[in-house]
Amino acid sequence: MSKDVTSLYRQLPAIDYLLNEASVLPLIEGYGRTQVTKILRNMQQHAREQIKQQQCLPVWQSDWIAALTYQLQRQQNSGLRPVFNLTGTVLHTNLGRALMAEEAIEAVARVMRYPVTLEYTLNEAVRGHRDRILADLLCELTGAEDACIVNNNAAAVLLMLATIAPGRQVIVSRGELVEIGGAFRVPEVMKQAGCQLVEVGTTNRTYLQDYQRAINEETALLMKVHTSNYRILGFTAEVEGQQLAQLGAEYNIATAIDLGSGALIDMTQYGLPAEPMPQHYLAQGVDLVSISGDKLLGGPQAGIIFGKKCWIDAIQQHPLKRALRADKMTLAALEATLRIYQQGEKVTTSLPTFNFLTRQQAEIRQLAQRLIEPIKHHYGGKFAVKDEACFSQIGSGSLPNERLASWAITFTPKNNNNNLLVSLSRQWRQLATPVIGRISAGRLWLDLRCLNDEAKLLQVLLKQ
């Protein structure tokens, strides 16, 4: 080993020496001695490797304390970071779907802080069922005989299938064998539930007689899946829920509909696209209907099954129910959300999802015009910054084809270099509060439909 390299090694401070430095003591108090020691050892090892390979000290060698502080802070950053969702997708699956109402946030904090009557009845002082209070509320809102709550809608579908048709046949239209997010496919769910899938009809046209011809002694369920994440147009035909319910009643076979997106109210009253509601199918005689909690319902991630009491009782007794049940925080947030539906006039003001969905283009345009000048002043050197009309979408997996008139601030490179857009987008993703937009048609778009804190957005963007 050369004399110069040896001298470099000698410049590395001892761990014990650093741990006793006055400036390190607050870090030990804040992050714990174990964690501080671990990071210091990693830093020291990195420095030794750089000396060995490059015969020099790392750049941070001159200020170990600053480097240590940076490493500790970076390691403590949450993996679930708040972002500005300016993608134009209100129910963005990758960004957490529905935002919670303040009432739901308060309810979750309360059940986290105190013991609660999750499975305890105050009148009899005995064990109760965690779904009961919410089931009664769901029945009041929809007219269902009973209801059941699990951790998401995929779990709801799995549980319905595993309860009704284990080892038996389930008839579904070919046009409804959808894939939802993450390559999660209806046929694969059926396989996991131990069911035998029977496909009927064609991709674009399925008739009632297709179901009828497929019925045999092994048929346990007639199922319909609402294709909320895509649409077939043109020469099409599908079996309505009422037709399916009547056929099931005629042959004494259960019927189920996976609605997925899960609207509990008539969306057309707010000028939004029509979306089927569980109460509509229940009134038609369908035995079971499942929906998601974190899409058009505007609540937490949950799967809700409505239906005939005999089937809900069977589902509650299935061994999978315990594995798929919702926790107290989900139940608290869902109950608070459903309470808002009891007061119909509060839906658009209290539920962020409906507040965003019903936001008028004129209001969003005014927001853009308030923001445009300071943003243009800051970014106008490299980009043509404009406010432009655009279209938002309701969800990435729910009603992705339905578009809502909106307004955006756009960034177009003055030198037509699209790499600048990619670089700017990446730069914004590294901000303290990341800003997530979308790149389309040679521009970076910030759709303002879901912006609820314009002052903070300006503060974040103008620091760059």
pLDDT by residue (tens digit) across 82-98?
999 999 999 999 999 99
| Distance of alpha carbon 332 from alpha carbon 118, whole angstroms | 9
Q: Is the predicted pLDDT of residue 11 greater than 80, yes or no?
A: yes
| Distance of alpha carbon 455 from alpha carbon 222, whole angstroms | 53
Mean pLDDT value across residues 324-333: 97
Strands 303-307 and 288-292: antiparallel
pLDDT at residue 182, as a whole number: 56
pLDDT at residue 7, as a whole number: 85
Lowest-confidence range among 230-239, 245-254, 334-343, 368-377? Answer: 230-239
Tell me, yes or no, if the two domains 84-94+355-462 and 102-348 fold the same way: no
Mean pLDDT value across residues 316-335: 96
Strands 435-436 and 84-85: parallel
Mean pLDDT value across residues 230-242: 73
Mean pLDDT across the chain = 90
> Can you give the residue ranges of every domain in the chain?
1-76, 84-94+355-462, 102-348
Sign of the dihedral through C-alpha 236, 242, 248, 253: positive
Give domain 102-348's CATH number out of 3.40.640.10, 3.40.50.150, 3.30.572.10, 3.50.50.60: 3.40.640.10
pLDDT at residue 128, as a whole number: 86
Q: How confident is the model at residue 229 (pLDDT cuts 50, 70, 90)?
A: low
Q: Is the predicted pLDDT of residue 232 greater than 80, yes or no?
A: no
CB of 404 closer than 8 Å to CB of 391: yes
pLDDT at residue 230, as a whole number: 57
Q: CA 258, 260, 262, 266: dihedral to nearest 10 degrees?
A: -80
Q: Is the predicted pLDDT of residue 256 greater than 80, yes or no?
A: yes
| Distance of alpha carbon 140 from alpha carbon 355, whole angstroms | 24
Q: How confident is the model at residue 181 (pLDDT cuts 50, 70, 90)?
A: low
Q: How confident is the model at residue 396 (pLDDT cuts 50, 70, 90)?
A: low
In DSSP terms, 367 is beta-bridged to none
Q: What CATH number belongs to 84-94+355-462?
A: 3.90.1150.110
Neighbours of 208 (CB within 10 A): 17
Q: How confident is the model at residue 55 (pLDDT cuts 50, 70, 90)?
A: confident
